[in-house]
Amino acid sequence: MNIVVCVKQVPDTATERKLRSDDKTLDRDAADGVVNELDEYAVEEALRLKEAHGGEVTVLSMGPAKATETIRKALAMGADKAVHLHDDALHGSDALSTSYAIAQTLKKIGFDLVILGSESTDARTGVLAAMLAERLGAAQLTLASKVEIDKTVVTVERVTDYGHDRVEATLPAVVSVVEKINEPRYPSFKGIMAAKKKPVETLAAADAEIALDQVGLANAWSEVVDFAPAPPRAAGTVIKDEGDGGAKVAEFLASKKFV
C-alpha cells in the first residue's frame, strides 16, 4: 500500500506569530518552524498502518526551504522517503491553491491512501483534506479517531458533534486524523541517524504540472484586507477570595444579565 502523509511546517505556537506588513502573509521567518502537531499523529497512523499491512510511507510537504527540518523529523519517526514541493511561486497560496498544488503532486507521485492532520495550527482552516478528496475524486474519510483497513476497504470512526459515525470506503481515500487517534512515537537516535540518508525529492511547480496561474498570492481566491493586533482586553476586576468570592462572581454575572 502506497501511503502519503501530508506534513506542514508551522511557526511554533509558543513564540510570537506575525503577519508580514508588506504582503500580509504569515511571517514564516519570524518564528521557529515546527511540525504541525496533528501531522505527527498523521505520521504515526501511517506508520502503524504500514506495520500492520505493509507498503511504503512517503512524506509530502509544501513549503519553503526550511521545511526540510520538518520533513526530516517525519522521516526520523520512520517514514521511508519524502517529497518536498518547493517553489517561490507557491508563496502566499490560499487553501484552494494549496489543495490544487498538493493534489497535482499526489497525482504525479501516486497514492492509495493520503493521511493529513485535521487542522494546522497557523491557518487552522481545516479544509485541506476535504478539498483534496474533491479534487482527486477519492473517498473522504476525515476527522478520524480510528482507522481500520481490510484489503482495499477502509473504515474510520469519524468524530461528529453528536458522537461518531462509522464510515466505509474503498481505496483510494483521503483520511484526516484527530488528536485522540494515537500517541505519536518519539524519533529514536537510530531513527534520526537513518533519516539523514533517506531520499528527499524536491519538486518545483513545473515538475508536478502545477499551472502557475492557479497558485501564489497574486492568484489567490481570497485576500487579507487589513489586520491589526487585537486591542488588549480592557483590564478586568480581580479580587481575592475572602470567603465571598463565589458571591462576588454571582454579582458580576447578574450585572451582566447572565443570571
Partner 1 sequence: MSEVLVLVDHVEGEIKKVTLELLTLARSLGAPSAVWAGPGYSDAARARLAEFGAEKIYVADAEEIAQYVVAPRAELLARLVADRSPAGVLVAATGEGKEIAGRLAVKTDSGVITDAVGVGDGFVADLSIFGGGVNVRSRVTRGTPIIAVRPNATPPVAAPAAGTEEKVALVLSDSARAARVVERVTQEKGGRPELTEAAIVVSGGRGVGSADNFAIIEELADSLGAAVGASRAATDAGWYPHQFQVGQTGKTVSPQLYIAAGISGAIQHRAGMQTSKTIVVINKDAEAPLFEIADFGVVGDLHQVVPRLTEEIRKRG
Ligand X SMILES: Cc1cc2nc3c(=O)[nH]c(=O)nc-3n(C[C@H](O)[C@H](O)[C@H](O)COP(=O)(O)OP(=O)(O)OC[C@H]3O[C@@H](n4cnc5c(N)ncnc54)[C@H](O)[C@@H]3O)c2cc1C
Q: Do the beta carbons of residue 24 and residue 227 sit within 8 Å? A: yes
Q: Do the beta carbons of residue 257 and residue 250 sit within 8 Å? A: no
- Applying CB under 6 A, does 134 fall inside the site for ligand X? no
For residue 6, give the 3-state DSSP assignment: strand
Which helix (DSSP H) or strand (DSSP E) does residue 116 occupy?
A: strand 113-117
User: Residue 172, preceding bond cis, omega within 30 degrees?
Assistant: yes
Nearer to partner 1, 18 or 81 (CB): 18
Q: Do the beta carbons of residue 102 and residue 111 sit within 8 Å? A: no
- Applying CB under 8 A, does 161 fall inside the site for partner 1? yes
- Applying CB under 6 A, does 142 fall inside the site for ligand X? no
Distance, in Å, from the CA atom of 241 to the CA atom of 218, rounded to the nearest integer, reads 56
Overall size of the chain counted in residues: 259
Report 188-207 residues binding partner 1 (CB under 8 A).
Answer: none
Distance, in Å, from the CA atom of 175 to the CA atom of 183, rounded to the nearest integer, reads 17
- Applying CB under 8 A, does 13 fall inside the site for partner 1? yes
- Applying CB under 8 A, does 66 fall inside the site for partner 1? no
Q: Do the beta carbons of residue 83 and residue 101 sit within 8 Å? A: no
- Applying CB under 8 A, does 59 fall inside the site for partner 1? no
* Binding residue for partner 1, selected from 150, 151, 162, 196, defined by CB under 8 A: 162
Q: Which does 63 bind (CB under 5 to 8 A by kind): ligand X, partner 1, none?
A: ligand X
- Applying CB under 8 A, does 226 fall inside the site for partner 1? yes
* Binding residue for partner 1, selected from 42, 130, 149, 195, defined by CB under 8 A: 130
Least distance CB 178 / partner 1 (angstroms) = 8
Per-residue contact track with ligand X, 31 to 60, x per CB under 6 A?
-----xxxx--x-----------------x
Report 81-110 residues binding ligand X (CB under 6 A).
Answer: 93-96, 98
* Cell numbers that stand for 161 in this block: 458533534
Distance, in Å, from the CA atom of 40 to the CA atom of 234, rounded to the nearest integer, reads 38
* Binding residue for ligand X, selected from 61, 68, 70, 105, defined by CB under 6 A: 61
Binding site for ligand X (CB under 6 A): 6-8, 26, 36-39, 42, 60-63, 93-96, 98, 116-117, 119-120, 122-128, 222
